[in-house]
Amino acid sequence: MSGSGNREQVFPTRMTLGLMKGKLKGAQQGYSLLKRKSEALTKRFREITRRIDDAKRKMGRVMQTAAFSLAQVTYATGDNIGYSVQDSVKSARFQVKAREENVSGVRLPQFETHINEDINDFKMTGLGRGGLQVQKAAEVYTSSVETLVELASLQTAFIILDEVIKVTNRRVNAIEHVVIPRTENTIAYINSELDELDREEFYRLKKVQEKKQQQTALQDAEAAAKKAQLLEKKANDKLEADQKAEENKDNEASEQAKAEYDPEEEARQVSKFIDEPADDLTAQQEEDIIF
Residues in the chain: 291
Has residue 291 got a pLDDT over 50?
A: no
- Domain 14-201 - what CATH class? mainly alpha
SS3 sequence, 194-237? HHHHHHHHHHHHHHHHHHHHHHHHHHHHHHHHHHHHHHHHHHHH
Higher local confidence (pLDDT), 109 or 25 = 25
Instruction: With beta carbons less than 8 A apart as the criterion, state whether 12 and 194 touch.
Output: yes
The sign of the torsion formed by the CA atoms of 278, 282, 285, 287 equals negative
- Per-residue pLDDT at 1: 39
pTM exceeds 0.75, yes or no: no
pLDDT of res. 227: 87
Contacts of 284 (CB under 8 A, 6+ apart): none
For 136-179, how does the pLDDT look when each residue is reduced to its tens digit (9 = 90+)? 877 888 888 888 888 999 999 999 999 999 999 999 999 999 99
Is the model's pLDDT at 52 over the cut of 70?
yes
Cα–Cα distance list, 110 to 60, 137, 183, 290 (Å): 22, 27, 41, 150
Q: List, for residues 85-116, the tens digit of each pLDDT value.
A: 666 667 777 778 888 888 888 888 888 887 77
Q: Tell me the pLDDT tens digit for each residue of 193-219.
A: 999 988 999 999 999 999 999 989 998
Q: Is the pLDDT of residue 279 over 80?
A: no
3-class state of residue 41 by DSSP: helix
Q: What is the DSSP string of 78-142?
A: SS--HHHHHHH--S-SEEEEEEEEEETTEEEEEEEEEE-TT--TTTTTTTTTTHHHHHHHHHHHH
**What are 172-198's pLDDT values in tens digits?**
999 999 999 999 999 999 999 999 988
Write the single-letter amino acid at 78.
Answer: G
In this predicted structure, the answer to whether residue 288 has a pLDDT above a threshold of 70 is: no
